[in-house]
Amino acid sequence: MKWKIPAVFFSLLIFGTMRAQMPGAGNCLSFNGMTDYVDCGLVNFGTSDFSSECWVNFSLPSPGTQGIMGNWVLGTPWPSYFYVVYGLLGSTTLTAAFHRDGPAFNTYASWNTGGTLTGWHHIATVYDRDGMMELYVDGILRASASIAFADGLTINSPAPFMIGSLGSGVASFFGKIDEVRLWTKALTQAEIRDGMCRKLTGNENGLTGYWRFDSVSGTTAADSSPAGRTGTLN
């Protein structure tokens, strides 16, 4: 069962350490690690650079592989997709993944957290098509991998973008998620740090998905970006 619960935290962010707390008042969503996810519909980035952000609170110890967000899909013809996942390459790893079209073309930027991700943490992934895929935790670059092969490659997953799953309802998240954002640009570290501890207006340049979870009604979650992709709670 997924719940909309109050999320009120002090703003505390210390770069270079593993301490972070989401600022402000509002709500977040809690996921049960079994069947919960939010279906946000198709989110394909074409050939543009893109980035993702969210705040997460893990319910540790991990019950296995946990998808935080993504549009993973299994099947042929093999599409291109991305996802962010905990526990995939080891029980305490946090991983950004990019899959190009083909059966075995996964690229990972993975960081072994050592099981230290307690409390709230900000996670950002950046996909610079002619350069690097980068994984940031609390504004700190933790892992990177080259995705220069993806320059000009179309992101064409037929699966909907999901929050609380790596895609297709697979690998459900166990914990809380808030402030999910998608961008059609490669965020810089300065932009990540500048925006992670504040709410957005919704009309920022390049913003193409923004689920604050403050406006959850019944089984829907509003998208505060211009794209207007209302999420469906499952």
Q: What is the pLDDT of residues 44-53, one digit of tens each?
A: 898 999 999 9
Quick check: 51 and 182 in contact, CB under 8 A? yes
Query: Shortest CA distance to 68 belongs to which of 151, 164, 147, 160?
Result: 164
Q: Which residues pair with 27 in a beta bridge?
A: 6
- Kindly report whether the global pTM for this prediction surpasses the value 0.85: yes
Six-digit token pair at 169?
A: 């309802």
Per-residue pLDDT reduced to its tens digit, 113-165: 998 788 999 999 999 988 999 999 999 999 999 998 888 888 888 899 999 99
Quick check: 112 and 95 in contact, CB under 8 A? no
Quick check: 216 and 4 in contact, CB under 8 A? yes
Give residue limits of the domains in the chain: 30-233
CATH class of domain segment(s) 30-233: mainly beta
